[in-house]
Structure 1
């Protein structure tokens, strides 16, 4: 039986964040389908009546255990996946925030099985969800951070 996000009648609105610290970039390992076992930026869907900034603060707390104050929306990402017949199987519009953190200890929760600070130079060694590395590079270059 298809999940409610499969073959949507409208796009889903989500939030995500590129969070940078001295230890690297914050990533979570997805603990549930779809893409279970893949690594991505923390985030999730916006709830009805919830502002985007409130949503990313909630999602960060739920998935990583940290209190997060986003600096700004750094990118808008659209994910559209079609099936073999060309029908839209998934459609998300994601507001990607940028922020920094000095929190060291992470507590994975909600949809995340693991949360880690990953050194920038090691990001490509992780099985990242499609487009994650490109988004991180784009945002870090935009905020004038060097990316190897």
Structure 2
């Protein structure tokens, strides 16, 4: 029996400090070179909020807490004929920095604290500004 491809469940964290959100420039594919929220796949037995916090720590070296679900983002990448290549459902959480100072890693080759209104000044993954705006309301 063959199995059909399944969407990948992922989580990300819009971490705030003093009104600014931490964004990271992706150091790996997909979306290498684009700014986004730290995040990644949800592991079996792990809640999406736990995954968002774990991925934030793995990608930045700092510790944060998730305080609420901000948005659900669905990404379907297609080839030139419209066939799906990748499909991810991303649960985007709002959070706050708990300890440490975010630094770069292989997954995040640059990090920046940015005012939500300035997100559009960066080359970002699609829809990032809208997700950050929703997360900012929760984190306020």
What TM-score bracket applies, with the shorter chain setting the length? Answer: 0.7 to 0.9
| Partner of residue 111 from structure 2, selected from 109, 112, 115 | 115
After superposition, residues 12-91 of structure 1 pair within 5 angstroms as 12-22=8-18, 24-91=20-87
Unpaired runs of at least 5, structure 2: none
- TM-score normalised by structure 2 residue count: 0.87
List, as ranges, runs of 4+ consecutive aligned residues in structure 1 with deviation greater than 3 Å: none
- TM-score normalised by structure 1 residue count: 0.82
| Higher strand content, 1 or 2 | 2
What is the rounded CA distance, in whole Å, between the counterparts of 2:93 and 2:85 in structure 1? Answer: 25
Q: Which moved more, 1:13-22 or 1:132-141?
A: 132-141
| Partner of residue 7 from structure 2, selected from 5, 8, 11 | 11
> CA offset at residue 122 of structure 1?
2.2
The secondary structure found in structure 2 opposite 1:68 is strand
> CA offset at residue 76 of structure 1?
1.3
Unpaired runs of at least 5, structure 1: 1-7
The secondary structure found in structure 2 opposite 1:69 is strand
